[in-house]
Amino acid sequence: MTSHIVGYPRIGPKRELKFALESFWEGKSSAEELKQVAADLRFSIWKQMAEVGIKYIPSNTFSYYDHVLDTTAMLGAVPPRYGWNGGEIGFDVYFSMARGNASVPAMEMTKWFDTNYHYIVPELGPDVKFSYASHKAVEEYKEAKALGLDTVPVLIGPLSYLLLSKPAKGVDKSFSLLSLVEKIVPIYKEVVAELKAAGATWIQFDEPSLVLDLEALQLQTFTNAYSELESSFSGVNILIETYFADVPIQTYKALTSLKNVAGFGFDLVRGTRTLNFLKSGFPSDKYLFAGVVDGRNIWANDLAASLCILQVLEGIVGKDKVVVSTSCSLLHTAVDLVNETKLDKEIKSWLAFAAQKVVEVNALARALVGQKDQAFFASNATSHVSRRSSPRVRNENVQRAVVALKDSDHRRATSVSARLAAQQKKLNLPILPTTTIGSFPQTIGLRKVRREYKAKKITEYDYVNAIKEEISKVVKLQEELGIDVLVHGEPERNDMVEYFGEQLSGFAFTVNGWVQSYGSRCVKPPIIYGDVSRPRAMTVFWSSTAQSMTRRPMKGMLTGPVTILNWSFVRNDQNRHETCYQIALAIRDEVEDLERAGINIIQIDEAALREGLPLRKSEQPFYLEWAVQSFRITNCGVKNTTQIHTHMCYSNFNDIINAIINMDADVITIENSRSDEKLLSVFHEGVKYEAGIGPGVYDIHSPRIPSTEELADRINKMLSVLDNRVLWINPDCGLKTRKYSEVEPALRNMVAAAKLIRTQLASSN
C-alpha cells in the first residue's frame, strides 16, 4: 500500500503562520518565536499524514513566504541591492527580497502558473555568483527524522526554476537564462549529497514547467540537467513531479527516458490525456505517482471512479508500481473541513479540504491492495448522489438566460474614442487624472465592526452608521490629498470576491477555509455549488452614499465575473464558461442599477483574467473568447457617458494584450511598478491602445514609500510610450493591506508627481 502527498498548506488551520509573520514584521515577537510557530505547524502536518497512513510524506514544502524564494535563497541568487555578503541567508535578507525595505524595493511578484498563488520572481544574469546559501531542505528533513518520520524532501527542479526567472535589471533581454543551468546544477548536487548523508531515501523534484509547450532548447536543457545530476542520484530514489495540466507527448518521452530516476508524478485530474500516453508505454522498472485526488478544488473525490482508473494503471505499470497521490500540492485548497461548524450540512457532505484529501488518498491506496473501507466508499457514493440530485444546484431561469446569450457579441454600440470624448465632456477631468484602485486600509476597528455585526453583537443601524463614518473619512482624505476620481474605500468588504458571493445565489461560505495567496496574505474563496443569480442590489446603497458626500466623481466598485470565477472553488459538474456567463449576468444587473443611481464611473475588476489562462497554447483562444465576452456582458448596455474601468493585478499581461484591448473597457488600471515596467514594453513594440490606461506607479505590497521624484520619473517613462490624454495615475492595486501611515504619504507623493508633470507638460506647449 503506497500513498503520497505532493505538498500541503503551510498557513495552519486557523492562519497561525499569517499571525506569527505579521507579529514578527511589526516587531512584536522574536525570530525564535516565529520559528517555533513554524516548527509546530510542520510537526502537526507530518504527524497527521503519518497517522492517516501516508507512506511518502513531503518535507521542505513549508515556507515563510514562498517556495520559489526559498529556492533563490538555496542557490544564493540574491540581487546585489539587498547587500548580502555571503553565508547562510537569514530573515533580514529573505524578507527584504520578499517585501522590500525602507531603502530598496521588493523583487517582482507574479502568479504561480494558472493559480491565485503568487511567487517571487528570481532575478538572474551572467554575473550571478550562485552558492549553496540556505540549508532549509536538509534542516527540515533532519527535523522530521528526529521526530521519527522519514519524509520526502521537495525541491523545485532546475528547469522550472530557470523558466520562472527573469533577466535582472541591466541584463540584456536576449540573455538566455537556460545557459545558467550548468551553474546551478552543482548546487543541486550539493543539496542531494547532504540529503543522502542525512538518510533521505526519496527526493522529489517538482518540474511543473514540463506541462508547458516547451521549445526544443528548453526540453534539451531539462534532459541535460538531469543527465548531469544522474551520478548524484545513485543511492537515493528520485521522483520527478509534474502538475496542473497534461504533459505533452515529446516531453513525456523525454521525461520517462531519464536514467537513475525512480518515479514520475502526473496530474490525472487536469491532465486526463496523460492517461493515453501511459497506456501507450511506461518504463517497467519505474514507479507511477498517480495524481487522482484533486489538489486544486474542494469537492470530494469520486472514489469509485478513481479506483477504476488506478486499477487500469496497475494493469499497465504493474501491481506494485502505482503510488496513489494528489494531483498537485494541497497548498491551493483549504486546510480542514472539521473547522467548518457553520457550513450547511448537505453542502459540507460534498466537500473535502486538504486534511480530508489526505484520507481519500490513503483510502484509495488501501482499496488498491484489497483493503477497501466499504463504509467509507459507501458514504462517498451517497454524497455524490446527493449532489447530483439536489434541487438547490440547478435554476432553470438562469440556464435559459445563459442560452439566450449566444446571439450577440455584447459590444457597446460606439467606439472607445467616441465614448471617452463624451465622458470627458461630462466628467471634466484634468490630464493625468489620479485615482486609487478601490480599497483603503482595513483598520482593527473596522474589522471589529464587521465581526460584531456578523455575530449580531451590534444592530444594523449601528453597523451602517459605522461604515458611513469610515466612508466619510476616506472621502475627506482623498479630497484633502487632491485625488481626482474617488473611491469609497470598501469598508463594508473583507474580501472582494467573498463580499459579492455572499449576496449571490449558488454560493456557500466557510469560516476557516483560508488559502495562502502570498506571504501572510490569505484569501477565503467562496464555493460555487449551484447556478448563480442576483436576488437584490449589492453595492448601490454604499456607492450612492459615498457619491452624496462629494462633488468629485465616485467610482462604483464591482468584481468582474472572470475574477469571481477564478478566485472561487468552482463547481466541477458543468463547464467553467457556463458558470462564468451566469455570474456575468448577475453583475450586469448590478451595473445597470448603479448607472440608474447616478454613478458615472463603474469599475469592474478583472484582476484574475490572466490567471485563468490555460497553460497549453491550444486551449488559450477559447478561454480568452469566453472570458472577454463575460466581461463585455456586464456593461454592454450602459450609456456612452458612463465610464467603465477595469483593474488587473500581478501577472504577465504582455501575451494577452490583444484580449485586454478586446475587453473594450474605457479605462484599465494594471500592475506595472514591481515588474520593472515590463508592461510598457508592449507599447514600445507598437501596440496601439486607445482607451485610458493606468499602469501602477508604485507597489502597494511593500511598506516602502516612494518619493515624488521617483514617481515623476515613472510617469515620464509611461509618457514616452503613452499619450498624456489617456494616461491615468494610480497605485498598482488596492490599499487594504497597508497602514494609513504608509498610504497617506505615498498617495500625497503620487498626486504631487502628477501635478508636477502636468505643469511641465503645460509649460512645454
User: Which pLDDT tens digit goes with each residue over 285-306?
Assistant: 999 999 999 999 999 999 999 9
- Residue 514 domain-assigned (yes or no): no
Report the alpha-carbon angle 723-659-598, nearest 5.
Answer: 70
- Residue 448 domain-assigned (yes or no): no
- Residue 458 domain-assigned (yes or no): no
| 428 labeled part of a ligand binding site | no
* More confidently predicted of 46 and 676: 46
| 605 labeled part of a ligand binding site | yes
Looking at the structure, tell me whether residues 318 and 382 fall in a common domain: yes
- pLDDT of 651 > 60? The answer is no
Looking at the structure, tell me whether residues 142 and 239 fall in a common domain: yes
**Would you place residue 520 in the very low, low, confident or very high pLDDT band (cuts 50, 70, 90)?**
very high
| 600 labeled part of a ligand binding site | no
Residue range 145-164: mean pLDDT, rounded? 97
| 577 labeled part of a ligand binding site | no
User: Which pLDDT tens digit goes with each residue over 92-143?
Assistant: 999 999 999 988 989 998 889 999 999 999 999 999 999 999 999 999 999 9
Looking at the structure, tell me whether residues 676 and 759 fall in a common domain: yes
Q: Determine the pLDDT at residue 244.
A: 97
Q: Determine the pLDDT at residue 496.
A: 79
**H helical segments located in 236-302:** 249-256, 274-280
User: Cβ contacts of residue 356 below 8 Å, gap of 6+?
Assistant: 300, 336, 337
207 phi/psi in degrees, rounded to 5: -130, 65
CATH number for the domain spanning 692: value is: 3.20.20.210
Supply the pTM of this predicted model: 0.92
Give Cα 198 distance to the centre of its chain: 34
| 661 labeled part of a ligand binding site | no
| 4 labeled part of a ligand binding site | no
- Residue 329 domain-assigned (yes or no): yes
Q: Share the mean pLDDT of the chain.
A: 94
- Residue 247 domain-assigned (yes or no): yes
Rounded distance, CA 430 to CA 434, Å? Answer: 9
**Would you place residue 703 in the very low, low, confident or very high pLDDT band (cuts 50, 70, 90)?**
confident
Residue range 60-82: mean pLDDT, rounded? 97
Contact yes or no for 616/622 (Cβ under 8 A): no
Burial class (CB in 10 A: 0-12, 13-18, 19+), 590: buried
List residues bridging with 558 in a β-sheet.
604
**H helical segments located in 257-326:** 274-280, 303-317
- Residue 526 domain-assigned (yes or no): no
Of 746, 734, 742, 738, which Cα lies nearest the Cα of 495?
Answer: 734
Residue range 519-528: mean pLDDT, rounded? 93
User: Which pLDDT tens digit goes with each residue over 580-620?
Assistant: 999 999 999 999 999 999 999 999 999 889 889 999 999 99
Q: Determine the pLDDT at residue 656.
A: 85
Question: Looking at residue 729, what DSSP letter applies?
Answer: B
Looking at the structure, tell me whether residues 376 and 430 fall in a common domain: no
Ranges assigned E (strand) in 88-223: 109-111, 118-120, 123-124, 151-156, 166-167, 202-206
Q: Determine the pLDDT at residue 676.
A: 56
Q: Determine the pLDDT at residue 494.
A: 80
Cα end-to-end span (Å), the chain: 78
List residues bridging with 692 in a β-sheet.
667
Q: Determine the pLDDT at residue 400.
A: 94
Looking at the structure, tell me whether residues 617 and 736 fall in a common domain: yes
Reduced to 3 states (helix: H, G, I; strand: E, B; else coil), residue 692 is strand
Choosing from 353, 370, 389, the residue where a domain stops is 389
Of 566, 57, 572, 527, which Cα lies nearest the Cα of 302?
Answer: 572
Residue range 718-726: mean pLDDT, rounded? 89
Looking at the structure, tell me whether residues 669 and 736 fall in a common domain: yes
| 733 labeled part of a ligand binding site | yes
Contact yes or no for 434/552 (Cβ under 8 A): no
| 328 labeled part of a ligand binding site | no
| 521 labeled part of a ligand binding site | yes
Choosing from 350, 371, 389, the residue where a domain stops is 389
Contact yes or no for 135/194 (Cβ under 8 A): yes
Rounded distance, CA 284 to CA 268, Å? Answer: 19
Question: Looking at residue 26, what DSSP letter applies?
Answer: T
Reduced to 3 states (helix: H, G, I; strand: E, B; else coil), residue 288 is strand
Rounded distance, CA 45 to CA 436, Å? Answer: 40
Contact yes or no for 452/747 (Cβ under 8 A): no
Give Cα 497 distance to the centre of its chain: 13
- pLDDT of 363 > 70? The answer is yes
- The torsion region of residue 495 among left (phi > 0), alpha (psi -120 to 50) and beta comes to beta
- Residue 523 domain-assigned (yes or no): no
User: Which pLDDT tens digit goes with each residue over 308-353?
Assistant: 999 999 999 988 999 999 999 999 999 999 999 999 999 999 999 9
Q: Determine the pLDDT at residue 519.
A: 92
Rounded distance, CA 28 to CA 15, Å? Answer: 17
Helix, strand, coil content of the chain in percent (nearest 5): 45, 15, 40
- If one counts the domains in the chain, the total is 2
Cell of 219: 526540453
Looking at the structure, tell me whether residues 199 and 341 fall in a common domain: yes
* More confidently predicted of 1 and 348: 348
**Would you place residue 652 in the very low, low, confident or very high pLDDT band (cuts 50, 70, 90)?**
low
Looking at the structure, tell me whether residues 564 and 646 fall in a common domain: yes
Looking at the structure, tell me whether residues 551 and 685 fall in a common domain: yes
Active-site residue list: 701
Looking at the structure, tell me whether residues 91 and 20 fall in a common domain: yes
Residue range 412-424: mean pLDDT, rounded? 95
Please give the residue range of the domain that contains residue 307: 3-389
**Would you place residue 702 in the very low, low, confident or very high pLDDT band (cuts 50, 70, 90)?**
confident
505 phi/psi in degrees, rounded to 5: -75, 155
Choosing from 353, 369, 389, the residue where a domain stops is 389
Looking at the structure, tell me whether residues 422 and 340 fall in a common domain: no
Looking at the structure, tell me whether residues 151 and 239 fall in a common domain: yes
Residue range 650-672: mean pLDDT, rounded? 83
- Residue 470 domain-assigned (yes or no): no
- Which amino acid, residue 713? D
| 490 labeled part of a ligand binding site | yes
Contact yes or no for 38/68 (Cβ under 8 A): no
